Amino acid sequence: MSEEFGYYKLSGFTVILDFIRKLGLSRGFVRWHIYKSWINQGYEIVDVTSHGIKYRLNIRDNTTDGKILTTSKFYDFQEIDALAKAVETSQQDKVFLDIGANTGHYSLSLAKRGFTKIIAIEPNPPTLELLSFNVKINNLEPVISIVPLCIGDGTKVAFYSGDGLGTASVFKNNGDDSPPIYVESDTLINILKSQNINKIDALKIDIEGFEDRALFPFFDEAPESLWPTCIVIEPNSTSWEKDILSRLETLGYARTGKTRGNVILNRA
């Protein structure tokens, strides 16, 4: 993106909306009305600083971006806190793997929490553009490496994003008539090798129902030394071919937390 950060800054009535958010009042029904008011003001792209992190957000086409902008709380704080605390006493480099990085909320937040090496995997071109911009404006390019690939078998994969950037997926949703784009893919093991990763401290995966296809081959092939200490995963049993949560439990992971959208697991 050529425009500098601040080009899409808040103005007019939206400044009042942001003030309401900062007061801690933007929750539930109020938050929904604030979001709709923002959209009705004609906003699509917004530049904002939230909890010390700079973001360029697409609030019209990306549900996650809309929540980051309008919620009074730190979005997905419980999950991010669990990932950070799992290795907070480590004296070594802290490695985070962000599969389905979206526009960078988890990667940016964990960089601020002390992770020194972050691999952000995101295949969707318009989302990638925002992710790259957000990493750059926070001066985190030495920490966050962006991998523009889909998890797969190394071939080109049909990718659908008609329902919005945050829900782009290899699966075509019913009623979505938009044509796919084709993105490059690779196995998770190959991606880690290409990035010279020999340990993972924490992992987040949110790839719209493809989590089992990504993680089963990984845990089949990866040495135990590469298994992450903490995992945050979005459950999607309707799309999974195999129950990846049960598989993780057989490998010694325990469910240590659950939020509205995710399950948190830690190695025993």
Tell me what pLDDT residue 98 has: 98
Q: Which residues pair with 164 in a beta bridge?
A: none
Residues 126-158 pLDDT 10s: 899 999 999 999 999 999 999 999 998 888 888
Tell me which residue has tokens 């989302």.
Answer: 127
Domains of the chain: 13-70 (no CATH), 77-267 (3.40.50.150)
Q: How many CB atoms lie within 10 A of CB 139?
A: 10
pTM: 0.91
Tell me what pLDDT residue 38 has: 80
Tell me what pLDDT residue 175 has: 57
Tell me which residue has tokens 């960078």.
Answer: 104
Tell me what pLDDT residue 174 has: 58
Residues 6 or more apart from 263 whose CB is under 8 A from it? 232, 233, 234, 235, 245, 255, 257
* Structure tokens that stand for 202 in this block: 């924490």
Q: Is the dihedral of CA 251, 196, 82, 148 positive or negative?
A: negative
Residues 6 or more apart from 4 whose CB is under 8 A from it? none
Residues 83-114 pLDDT 10s: 999 887 666 789 999 999 999 999 999 999 99
Half-sphere exposure of 208 (CA within 13 A, CB side): 22
Tell me what pLDDT residue 91 has: 66
* Structure tokens that stand for 73 in this block: 């709380």
Residues in the chain with pLDDT values less than 50? none
Q: How many residues does the chain have?
A: 268
